[in-house]
Amino acid sequence: MPTRRRALALLGGGLALAAAGPGRAAPIPLSEISAYLNGIGTARANFTQINADGTLSTGTLHIRRPGRARFDYDPPNPGLVIAGGGQVAIFDDKSNTAPEQFPLSRTPLSIILDSRVDLSRDRMVTAYRDEGTATSITAQDPDNPGLGSIRLLFTADPVTLRQWVITDETGSETTVILNAFETGLALSPNLFSIRAELRARGLLE
């Protein structure tokens, strides 16, 4: 199952650079990338998580901005991670105990799940460059830089998020590769409800 550390990493996971387009002479403007992220209301993708120790997990990611995400792991991994209501909950299908919970604000994913993404905010972007086939942005919470950073990669024409790599406070990196990234889906709010999941598991009356 996902540990707290792996969940923190997953919530700042990554998208693969599959089908990347030709290189650009200059990086995509931050304003254009911010507008792209703000335009994502709902999304779904398959993911492969590559942990710092080299182990792999697969699953499905759902996003409903602002502030909500759900990571369902495929068997044999029994894990489920839900971000909603300002909290992150780590569920284990092998256990009937309540999930571990902690604030979403302590995960790098909160940067792109915010109600208004503004990558031009002072001290948020620490690195920004063109990498030939993608624009790379490293961002952090300017108010809590010690929580780690997220490195995002975008391709252009149209702007598409392809990868993010999280570096935690110890320097460990975790990548999550996503495929078939779809947006504009009709997703039920209950999919991101920690309380609804607790009720479904008989952990809440």
> What residues are paired with 47 via a beta bridge?
59, 178
The reply to whether 83 falls in a domain is yes
Domain hosting 176: range is: 4-200
- Which pLDDT score, from 0 to 100, does residue 180 have? 81
What CATH number did the domain enclosing 124 receive? 2.50.20.10
pLDDT band at 168 (very low <50, low <70, confident <90, very high): confident
**Which CA distances in Å does 12 have to 9, 105, 138, 203, 204?**
5, 12, 12, 28, 29
pLDDT tens figures, 36-48: 999 999 999 999 8
The reply to whether 205 falls in a domain is no
Question: How many distinct structural domains can be found in the chain?
Answer: 1
Strands (DSSP E) along 6-51, which ranges? 42-50
- Which pLDDT score, from 0 to 100, does residue 109 have? 82
What residue has token string 């252009």? Answer: 156
Q: How far apart are CA 166 and CA 18, in angstroms?
A: 19
The reply to whether 60 falls in a domain is yes
The reply to whether 130 falls in a domain is yes
Residue 17: which of 117, 131, 119, 127 has the closest Cα?
A: 131
Q: How far apart are CA 205 and CA 197, in angstroms?
A: 11
**Which CA distances in Å does 88 have to 16, 102, 130?**
24, 5, 33
pLDDT tens figures, 37-83: 999 999 999 998 888 899 999 999 999 999 999 999 998 887 899 99
